[in-house]
Amino acid sequence: MNKQIPMILVGLLILGILLMTQFLFVVREGEVAVVTTFGKPVRDLQTPGLYSRWPWPIQSVFRFDGRTRVMESALSETLTADGKNVIVSMYCGWRISEPTKFLERQGSTELAELNLSGLLDTYKNSAIGRVAFSNLVNTSASALRLDRIEADVLQGIQPQAADRYGIDVGFVGIRRIGLPQAITLSVFDRMRAERQELAERYRSEGEGEAIRIRAEADSEADRILSTAEADAKRIRAEGDAAAVAYYTVFSEDPELAIFLKKLDVLRDTLSEQATVILGTDRAPFDLLNPPPQP
């Protein structure tokens, strides 16, 4: 009998563990759960922890991933406001915000993402249909309206997903933009024409600036030359006036004029160290002779 006591205790322990698994369950981190009684939801659990329940078939527990999931819609064609075809794919981040509604309306993440993909396509077509093709594909960043499209899609899809499926859509973005072949060729032609027009405009502006700079330089050169010529004429006039005054004095005393001229020649000749071998009978060296005796 004593040998059977450990086996009985082990059996009771196993039975207790089995009973605990029927009456207790754990909600893990990142999970949400819904407890149903005879198939009818009675409470949802969004906080990790240990909870109690009645065993099956009275109550059942449905668990879902409560973390944010990212899904991507398939590429699909849509029209812009100016009638151009584009191929756009979008993505969104979503999580279960109302587990009970999610269980009743969806029941699985696969069905939820299928329905969300339909909502994304609907509001994507609506948002893109309100903008021009140049707001999607453009060499100028200021002309793009991708942020506006994403905001419009998010604003439309959020209340619908929450009301219909118990889902909170946190963000929406454009994953990819493609173009049919015919549109691609026309886009390249348009971009090439825009680049050519821009190059011509820059070239024209450069030529205009060069003409302006040359005109300013020519004008400045003419001004400098005119000023220099005026100064030269003024200086020549002043020199001529001074010369006239000298000539007047010299005409009154020619011997003084000749004497001063000889002094100038001597000064220029003997201004630096020089050796001159000439007779004093030649001008202007005759000034070196002693003055005649009275």
Domain boundary among 144, 162, 179: 179
Residues 126, 43 share a domain: no
Q: Which pTM was predicted?
A: 0.56
Instruction: Give the C-alpha separation, 151 to 129, whole Å.
Output: 14
Task: Name residue 120's amino acid.
Answer: L
- 38-46 contact pairs (CB < 8 A, 24+): 41/100, 41/103, 41/104, 44/98, 44/99, 44/100, 45/99, 46/99
Query: How distant, in Å, are the alpha carbons of 257, 263, 278 from that of 271?
Result: 21, 11, 17
Residues ≥6 apart with Cβ < 8 Å to 161: 94, 116, 119, 167, 168, 169
Domain annotation covers residue 190 = no
Do the strands 49-52 and 24-27 form a parallel or antiparallel pair, or are they unpaired?
A: antiparallel
Residues 141, 82 share a domain: yes
**DSSP tag of 107:** -
Domain annotation covers residue 29 = yes
Structural domain total, the chain: 3
Domain boundary among 179, 210, 230: 179
Quote the domain boundaries for residue 266: 254-285
Domain boundary among 179, 198, 217: 179
Residues 74, 61 share a domain: no
Domain annotation covers residue 202 = no
pLDDT at 92: 94
Residues 118, 42 share a domain: no
Residues ≥6 apart with Cβ < 8 Å to 112: 94, 102, 106, 165, 167
Residues 153, 121 share a domain: yes
pLDDT in tens, the chain (294 residues): 566 667 666 666 676 666 667 788 888 898 999 999 888 998 888 888 888 888 888 888 899 999 999 999 888 888 899 888 888 999 999 999 999 999 998 888 899 999 999 999 999 999 999 999 889 888 888 888 999 999 999 999 999 999 999 999 999 999 988 877 665 566 667 778 878 888 888 888 888 888 888 888 888 888 888 888 888 888 887 777 776 666 666 666 666 666 666 666 666 666 666 665 655 555 555 555 555 555
pLDDT at 26: 86
Residues 111, 35 share a domain: no
Could you tell me which residues are beta bridge partners of residue 88?
76, 177
